[in-house]
């Protein structure tokens, strides 16, 4: 099955197609997500190099974190974020159900203690809950963690014949595996500094009725059909890092729908702070962040050391959505209004055909 381009987000329209999230961080981060005006005035969200989208963080301001005190896993998110570091969280106006989501990155946030960046999709309606964390890492983690989170009892099968990711986690259910979800780990070049050193690359997500798959292609190994950007044929791309298949009680098309595209750079929070600050972020990270930074808490370190976050940014070339036909499954996010499938060419053509048939019928009877 071939897929055709239906939506393009790039330097010509990116900030018109995404909204800025400004509420308190739901994952308890030491962060202030700022609005569009603040982000653009302070350079946290801007166009650079003529045609690239920059999404970054405040890497200048030294914050006055109270006494360098330790924040525990149970502390209230509102009180933590009062003096949090400024950052951005952008969410797409358009949502989608099925298709191929292709994101081309020149740079992603580097592997640094205190950060928790992510590129992910999520159903805000939570009807049911369905989330895919495509790029996600915490602290000085080596290699990307791809994760799925569901309200249904979904399970990922460890199958080296259909996927290449390692450290397979099988339980996707929020009820039984809230933090980790199911998923796989990618090789070192899928995240942070190694990803950037190869000139970035392309992340591809495939959502179909019964399949969900994720690939990462380094800059020098991007498939020709993605480079040409016309019709995509994922069956020719080789094994993905992750391949989830529908099973009894968990169908992909029912569990992942109305997906919003999200970019954010968090600090500390549930995954990078608390007890995680005192543990190594991955098997390839030799020390905990508490040991390597000599700070007793994530928040104290983030507050006092803005310059270390100068490479904590996304540099996006484009994000593209492809679907197998003119999409009735791609529509505007209901929270932002605007036109959905009724504006599609297929819908308009149908009404034109009906109108002409009525006119012909009327003329026939007059004659």
pLDDT at 348 over 50: no
126 is catalytic: no
pLDDT at 342 over 50: no
Q: What average pLDDT does the segment 104-129 reach?
A: 97
Distances (CA, A) of 344 to 100, 120, 340, 341: 18, 26, 8, 5
Between residues 130 and 71, which one has the greater pLDDT?
130
Give the H/E segment covering residue 79: helix 77-80
Which one from 136, 163, 270, 299 is the annotated catalytic residue?
A: 136
pLDDT at 340 over 70: no
pLDDT at 328 over 60: no
pLDDT band of residue 82 (cuts 50, 70, 90) is low
pLDDT at 140 over 80: yes
Q: What's residue 217's pLDDT?
A: 98
Residue among 350, 348, 326 at smallest CA distance from 4: 326
Using CA atoms, how far apart are residues 311 and 331, in angstroms rounded to an integer? 34
Which one from 91, 126, 131, 254 is the annotated catalytic residue?
A: 131
pLDDT at 326 over 60: no
Q: What's residue 94's pLDDT?
A: 97
> SS3 for 307?
helix
> SS3 for 80?
helix
CA angle 321, 322, 328 (to 5 degrees): 90
Radius of gyration of the chain (CA): 22
332 is catalytic: no
């Amino acid at each position: 099955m071939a897929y055709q381009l239906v939506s393009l987000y790039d330097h010509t329209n990116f900030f018109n197609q995404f909204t800025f999230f400004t509420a308190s961080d739901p994952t308890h981060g030491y962060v202030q997500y700022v609005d569009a005006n603040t982000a653009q005035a302070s350079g946290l969200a801007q166009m650079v190099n003529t045609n690239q989208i920059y999404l970054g963080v405040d890497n200048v301001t030294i914050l006055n974190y109270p006494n360098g005190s330790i924040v525990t896993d149970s502390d209230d998110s509102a009180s933590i974020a009062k003096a949090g570091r400024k950052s951005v969280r952008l969410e797409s106006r358009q949502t989608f159900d099925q298709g191929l989501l292709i994101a081309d990155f020149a740079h992603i946030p580097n592997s640094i203690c205190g950060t928790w960046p992510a590129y992910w999709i999520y159903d805000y309606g939570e009807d049911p809950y369905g989330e895919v964390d495509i790029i996600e890492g915490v602290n000085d983690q080596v290699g990307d963690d791809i994760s799925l989170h569901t309200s249904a009892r979904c399970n990922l099968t460890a199958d080296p014949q259909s996927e290449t990711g390692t450290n397979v986690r099988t339980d996707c259910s929020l009820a039984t595996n809230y933090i980790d979800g199911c998923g796989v780990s990618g090789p070192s070049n899928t995240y942070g500094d190694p990803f950037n050193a190869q000139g970035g690359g392309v992340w591809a997500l495939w959502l179909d009725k019964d399949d969900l798959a994720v690939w990462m292609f380094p800059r020098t190994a991007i498939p020709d059909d993605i480079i040409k950007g016309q019709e995509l044929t994922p069956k020719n791309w080789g094994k993905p890092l992750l391949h989830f298949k529908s099973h009894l009680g968990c169908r992909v098309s029912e569990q992942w729908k109305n997906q919003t595209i999200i970019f954010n750079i968090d600090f500390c929070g549930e995954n990078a702070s608390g007890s995680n600050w005192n543990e190594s972020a991955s098997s390839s990270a030799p020390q905990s962040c508490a040991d390597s930074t000599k700070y007793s808490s994530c928040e104290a370190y983030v507050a006092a050391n803005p310059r270390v976050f100068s490479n904590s940014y996304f540099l996006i070339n484009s994000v593209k959505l492809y679907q197998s036909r003119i999409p009735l499954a791609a529509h505007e996010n209901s929270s932002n209004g605007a036109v959905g499938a009724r504006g599609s060419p297929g819908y308009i053509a149908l009404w034109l055909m009906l109108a002409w048939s009525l006119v012909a019928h009327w003329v026939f009877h007059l004659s």
